[in-house]
A and B are shown apart, each in its own frame.
Chain A
């Protein structure tokens, strides 16, 4: 461990930098993004142990003293290890203890149980609420299609993939949203999913369509593959929502347990 004096305004790590150590604030305080860390806090611990880049600058807000730590300081010194471990356990508990006021929005999230969303879900139905939120965050502007299903189908079939691949996928989604019970709807949606995933390689679009499949056709035999795809997309894009879909996958298909490592 190495002690180091710092002056107010001094940058210890820059946004995007992988920290080569984490540190204990012995004296003074530090600004990390919108958070201020007082004396007694460990800074950059998560990024250091996960070998991740900092997501904001780490700047001293006052003159002070820090103690730098690396692997050997905690692996070979039991007392220091326990100090860091205790801090990490306390931090995790503090995050979870303070969670009640925070709303987390996602479509399968029980956060609709949070008072303000629960009332709305009761009024308009959970699917409607989820669908509205999904559309809002997806940035998908769906094309207008005729109200008559046969005319709508004709419009959808007219759009070729070669002509405009995005238009091709969006028309299929628009049809499904308007006529979810039509025979061709499931195939349209699966085709849109394949297009986003395999051809456009658009994770965001793919996850949007995958969620629609789950919402609209939850009992279908395709659900396992869609769930696995979604877990992978979300996991790869480091979106913590993947846990929810993993849970749903495991509840529906307990035998998937053996394949978790493969997904992970």
Chain B
């Protein structure tokens, strides 16, 4: 195990590469970004990341320090040897949380929000003309998406 101090902005894992170590965050804050560099979720203290290293898998995450950080790095075999039963459950909980956040994040698509808005407006008895007029406030592409979604409701 080695301990590393890194400044904010340091890229620790780049996408499409097999991480060479498993990391455990000891201090600071680390962000997990997608390919478009959108912040998807964060790593809390004492949590591992770079678990792809255990399986020789490529990572599709972009992981970088949001603050000055201190991490411990482990060779994959060393990390496995150190895992106690409760740590195995913690690792699965951590991954479950990240999965949930990423999924939730992508579920918040504009069209889904538009559906919710239109549904609520219809429930409130707002006329189709007024709903249609909302598209006027939107950008061209969003207005097109809005019209498509509105069509689904037949209004």
Contacts and interface: CB of A to CB of B under 8 A. Distances in A.
Interface stretch (A73-81, A164-172, A217-225): A73-81
B60 A96 contact: yes
Given A89-B52, A93-B58, A114-B36, A139 B120 contact: yes
B142 interface: yes
What band does the interface of chain A fall in when counting residues whose beta carbon is under 8 Å from B?
Answer: 35 or more
Contacts of A86: 54-55, 57
Contacts of A257: 28-29, 67
Q: Is the interface of B mostly helix, strand, loop or mixed?
A: helix
A50 B35 contact: no
Given A85-B54, A104-B105, A120 B140 contact: yes
Contacts of B139: 117, 120-121, 123-124, 129, 132
Taking each of A84, A121, A243, which has the highest tally of chain B beta carbons within 10 Å of its own beta carbon? A243
Interface string B52-96: 101101111100001100000000000000000110110111011
B39 A104 contact: no
B153 interface: no
Given A46-B99, A240-B105, A103 B52 contact: no
Size bin of chain B's contact surface: 35 or more
Nearest to A95: B102
B1 interface: no
B153 to A, nearest CB: 15
Contacts of B28: 257
B117 A93 contact: no
Given A95-B103, A99-B34, A243 B93 contact: no
A117 B141 CA distance: 7
Contact of A136 (B57, B93, B97, B137): B137
Interface in A71-122: 71, 74-76, 81-82, 84-86, 88-97, 99-100, 102-106, 109-111, 113-114, 116-117, 119-121
In the A-B complex, list the 9 residue pairs whose CB atoms are closest, starting with the nearest. Answer: A120-B139, A75-B85, A49-B96, A88-B95, A97-B60, A105-B110, A116-B141, A96-B60, A93-B60
13 contacts: A49-B96, A85-B51, A85-B88, A88-B96, A91-B99, A100-B36, A104-B109, A105-B109, A111-B36, A117-B139, A132-B139, A136-B138, A260-B29
Given A92-B98, A132-B138, 6 more contacts: A46-B103, A89-B51, A94-B60, A136-B114, A136-B138, A243-B42
